[in-house]
Amino acid sequence: MKPKVLYLLLSLAIALPAHAIEFSQAELAKATALQKKLVTLDSHLDTPANFERADFDVTASHAGNRLSQVDYPRMVEGALDGGFWAVYTGQGDRSAQAHLDDRDAGLQRLLRIHEVLAAHPQQFAQATAPADAARIKAAGKRIVYISMENASPLVADPSLLSFYYKQGLRMLSTAHFLNNEFADSATDPKGPEWHGLSPAGKTLVQEAQKRGIVIDQSHASDEVFDQLIALSPVPIVLSHSGARAVHDHPRNIDDARLKVLAKHGGVIQMNSYEGYLIDNGASPERKAAEKALMQTFGDWEHLSVADGARLTAELKALDAKYPVKHATLDDFLAHMDHVLKLIGPEHVGIGMDWDGGGGVEGMQDVSDLPKITAWLLRQGYTETQIAGIWGGNLLRVMQQAQDWAAKPH
């Protein structure tokens, strides 16, 4: 089970009234029209997790089901052209068998992505180069880049990086919630193991960059960030992160490093995962009740989409018994506003963490995305700047990575 998905469900089980910014129908219509002109990308979509569910259909709307925030109809409604579908693997116990299990799980997730692409060629098309995005959009299809969140599938056989690249991998992160053989996590309760990247991690990063794969720092520690900046001949990205100055959480990034990121040409893609936006004030009793509830549903990976309705009802009951504060669109925009003012719109993008923990009151799935554009227009950002935020900045980093890889070294 992906632990952060629990918080997605909890954050959307609304119990307490909370203010969220509102927009007129005229503002949303204008924002939607603008997005339809631009290439709009999200850098971190955990949607492939739903491909394992027998009753999930990516071409049908699953609106209102807490297990799904992204599908083709709602992408059209929210004017999202596509983004990076993540090959996510949970961190195992790091035994030899776990490394093999991680290897197989990563390959299985990659296979599922390609099966969906093959099954729905009228709706989706794979992209591997920055120029592919505009071409696929012009053809009326949704854009699918492939990323890897947590490099643990490569521990057993690092040479698989070459295979993943040939299958379309164009963004790679080193770690997730816990330390692994490549890098320290920002959130491992044991603290740092490598004080940044391990020797194997440095080699992996260099091998990825030789192929033009963008390096993603999200989930890794501050020391990993510092070392990536020092090691990397091209900019890096944070595919789904927030501002530590707004909410002091180790998964977020501090202002000093944000300035370094921008100076290095990188981009932070703003995340909407509630636990990184605010402190919800959950009591020990609430946390224990959450854990007990999720145990009754069993393994997350084997839930059906139909289970989503029952789970949502149970979570709302839990909210009534143990109220907590929930993040709103205002909280997400507070992080975005801070970063935009600190480092400028040329270094900011969108990485909501849909289907993996993202979503707040007022912006619960991809159909709500024009609210971001409406807010940007309200703040006075230009069409060119908004185009950069919605994908241009990320594609620029991707182009720099691929151009560097194409040169002899």
Split at pLDDT 50, 70, 90, the class of 13 is: very low
- Tens-digit pLDDT profile for residues 222-243: 999 999 999 999 999 999 999 9
Alpha-carbon span 132 to 70, nearest angstrom:
21
Structurally, how many domains does the chain consist of? Answer: 1
Segment 341-370 mean pLDDT: 97
CATH assignment at residue 256: 3.20.20.140
- The pLDDT score that the predictor gives to residue 409 is 87
Q: Which two tokens stand for residue 313?
A: 């009802």
Q: What is the pTM of this model?
A: 0.95
Residue 86 has pLDDT above 80, yes or no: yes
Query: Which DSSP helix (H) or strand (E) runs through 332?
Result: helix 329-343
Q: Which single residue is written with the structure tokens 């296979």? A: 111
CB atoms within 10 A of CB 279: 13
- Tens-digit pLDDT profile for residues 146-174: 999 999 999 999 999 999 999 999 999 99
Short-list 226, 273, 235, 236, CA closest to 252: 273
Helix axis angle, 3-12 to 284-297, nearest 10°: 110
For 205-237, the DSSP string reads: HHHHHHTTPEEE-TTB-HHHHHHHHHH-SS--E
Segment 131-142 mean pLDDT: 98
- Tens-digit pLDDT profile for residues 312-338: 788 888 888 998 888 999 999 999 999
Split at pLDDT 50, 70, 90, the class of 192 is: very high
Segment 242-252 mean pLDDT: 98
Which ranges of 40-129 would DSSP assign to H, the alpha helix? 72-77, 96-119
Q: Which single residue is written with the structure tokens 């007022």? A: 362
Which residues have CB under 8 Å from 371's CB, separation 6+? 21, 23, 28, 31, 329, 362, 363
- The pLDDT score that the predictor gives to residue 5 is 53
- Tens-digit pLDDT profile for residues 39-60: 999 999 999 999 999 999 999 9
- The pLDDT score that the predictor gives to residue 392 is 98
Residue 64 has pLDDT above 90, yes or no: no
Split at pLDDT 50, 70, 90, the class of 308 is: confident
Question: The domain containing residue 337 runs over which residues?
Answer: 3-406
Split at pLDDT 50, 70, 90, the class of 16 is: very low
Alpha-carbon span 399 to 351, nearest angstrom:
18
Q: 79-94 burial string, b = 16+ CB within 10 Å, else e?
A: bbbbbbbbbbbbbbee
Short-list 86, 214, 219, 199, CA closest to 153: 86
More confident residue, 295 or 354: 354
Which residues have CB under 8 Å from 277's CB, separation 6+? 242, 246, 247, 271, 327, 331, 332, 334, 335, 360
The number of C-alpha atoms within 13 Å of 328 and in the hemisphere containing its C-beta is: 10
Q: For residues 125 and 144, is the Cβ–Cβ distance under 8 A?
A: yes
For 142-204, the DSSP string reads: EEEEEEEESSGGGTS-TTHHHHHHHTTEEEEE--SSS--SSB-BSS-TT--SSSSB-HHHHHH
- Tens-digit pLDDT profile for residues 384-404: 999 999 999 999 999 999 999
Q: For residues 197 and 221, is the Cβ–Cβ distance under 8 A?
A: no
Residue 12 has pLDDT above 80, yes or no: no
- The pLDDT score that the predictor gives to residue 28 is 98
Q: Which two tokens stand for residue 376?
A: 């940007």
Q: For residues 46 and 68, is the Cβ–Cβ distance under 8 A?
A: no
Split at pLDDT 50, 70, 90, the class of 9 is: low
Split at pLDDT 50, 70, 90, the class of 295 is: confident
